[in-house]
């Protein structure tokens, strides 16, 4: 089967947008690791001058056959031996001894995995930054846009869409900060030789390892980590945090974009040419406009927990080289890179084009007829009636309002059983009216929005 690059294949445009999780990307990373090692060996004085550059010049992915390397991998359990042999054949005889010098297959595979992770993380950070910047704009523009809050999928107290966006923003910023920390500290080369001792390089082993790390642009670990898979789990966890932040946003969008709610709508990117299929369409219903970006994003993020679980399960590895668990990492690790980077692309597009229907938000809030403000009314009455009596009075009034199809205000002020008790307690109609005003019961919403925006401007996140 031919290599399916990012965005190619039947599902590539959904799950492989901007992805580096392909066979070609793996091949490039493997060759980059071999070339970096050759340069490190030369810098250490263990190879003729120019040998490292000769290997680097030969390490071009376009000159290698992925399918052939895949067939050879079945003979050795991984693709590195076949790759190293083929690379050695492509360099001058004087440079052949430097190819794969001192390394074992896992050194190249694990280092390539770290290079792939670094490249993917860099791309994800860029897309999450775009998404976060767009979300900050939504939080600032809609700090006063009232809407009904919803808890357990039921109407709660009023909030603002600005506060909703601020919550999205802090999660995006925190997940990005975590990736930045991971990128700086946890992506390390692997170089231990046959059993983690670098015995074949003698005293030069540690020096070559340090130079190898420099050439790769990765950290130098304290010791080789052949069967210590915490770095792999850390990459998975960092990407899973991004997926969680993006997935929460996408789920909110799908809920708020429902026809019966209609408070958010996806923007349509660009102007489609006449006759071209439109985004959001249905094969059966011409009227449909589905939130495709949010749905596709969720299609990516829903795969992440299972992939991370597999990587975690693979961390139990035997002695100095795992018999199967290491091999079992490769595909879920690749898939995790692929779907998370795709989710980040979808997220940046979704949030950059999100349309807020403030009028629909206001209408949905008004349709609640004051019921979400019951807590505010009870708080007002607690000062004069006591908390328990105030709670019971408002609860009964709410039941009466719902049963009669009346606003809560009309029951509290128009039904003598309640109006007389309020008057006797010294509570005025004006106080009840004020307590039923949604804009007066937003608590610290503005403070929270300001804090989220300030942290975003400073590039802060909990990591």
**Is 321 a catalytic site residue?**
yes
Catalytic residue, chosen from 302, 321, 360, 421, is: 321
**Is 181 a catalytic site residue?**
no
Rounded to 5 degrees, φ, ψ at 323 are -105, 75
The catalytic residue positions are 282, 321
């Amino acid at each position: 089967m031919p290599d399916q690059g990012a965005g190619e294949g039947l599902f590539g445009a959904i799950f492989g947008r901007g992805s580096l999780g392909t066979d070609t990307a793996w091949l490039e990373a493997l060759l980059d690791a071999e070339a970096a090692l050759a340069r490190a060996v030369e810098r250490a004085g263990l190879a003729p001058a120019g040998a490292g550059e000769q290997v680097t010049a030969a390490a071009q992915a376009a000159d290698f056959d992925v399918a052939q390397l895949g067939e050879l991998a079945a003979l050795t359990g991984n693709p590195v031996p076949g790759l190293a042999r083929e690379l050695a054949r492509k360099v001058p005889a004087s440079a052949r001894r430097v190819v794969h010098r001192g390394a074992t297959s896992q050194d190249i595979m694990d280092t390539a995995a770290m290079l792939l992770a670094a490249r993917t993380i860099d791309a994800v950070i860029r897309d999450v930054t775009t998404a976060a910047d767009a979300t900050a704009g939504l939080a600032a523009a809609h700090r006063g846009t009232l809407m009904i809050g919803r808890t357990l999928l039921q109407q709660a107290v009023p909030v603002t869409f600005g506060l909703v966006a601020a919550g999205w923003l802090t999660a995006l910023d925190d997940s990005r900060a975590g990736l930045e920390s991971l990128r700086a500290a946890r992506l390390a080369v692997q170089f231990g030789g046959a059993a983690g001792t670098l015995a074949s390089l003698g005293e030069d082993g540690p020096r070559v390892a340090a130079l190898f790390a420099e050439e790769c642009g990765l950290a130098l670990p304290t010791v080789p980590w052949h069967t210590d898979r915490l770095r792999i789990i850390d990459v998975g966890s960092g990407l899973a945090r991004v997926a969680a932040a993006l997935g929460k946003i996408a789920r909110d969008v799908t809920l708020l974009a429902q026809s019966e709610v209609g408070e958010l709508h996806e923007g349509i990117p660009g102007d489609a040419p006449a006759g071209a299929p439109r985004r959001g369409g249905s094969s059966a219903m011409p009227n449909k406009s589905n939130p495709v970006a949010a749905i596709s994003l969720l299609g990516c993020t829903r795969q992440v927990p299972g992939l991370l679980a597999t990587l975690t399960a693979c961390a139990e590895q035997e002695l100095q080289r795992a018999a199967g668990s290491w091999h079992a990492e490769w595909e879920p690790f690749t898939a995790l890179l692929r779907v998370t980077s795709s989710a980040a692309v979808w997220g940046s597009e979704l949030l950059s084009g999100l349309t807020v229907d403030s009028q629909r938000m206001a209408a949905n809030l008004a349709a609640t007829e004051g019921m979400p403000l019951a807590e505010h009314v009870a708080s007002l009455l607690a000062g004069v009636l006591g908390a328990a009596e105030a709670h019971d009075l408002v609860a009964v009034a709410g039941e009466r309002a719902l049963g009669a199809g009346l606003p809560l205000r009309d029951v509290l002020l128009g039904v003598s059983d309640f109006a007389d008790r309020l008057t006797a307690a010294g509570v005025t109609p004006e106080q009840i009216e004020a307590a039923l005003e949604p804009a007066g019961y937003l608590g610290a919403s503005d403070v929270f929005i300001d804090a989220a925006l300030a942290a975003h401007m400073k590039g802060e996140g909990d990591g």
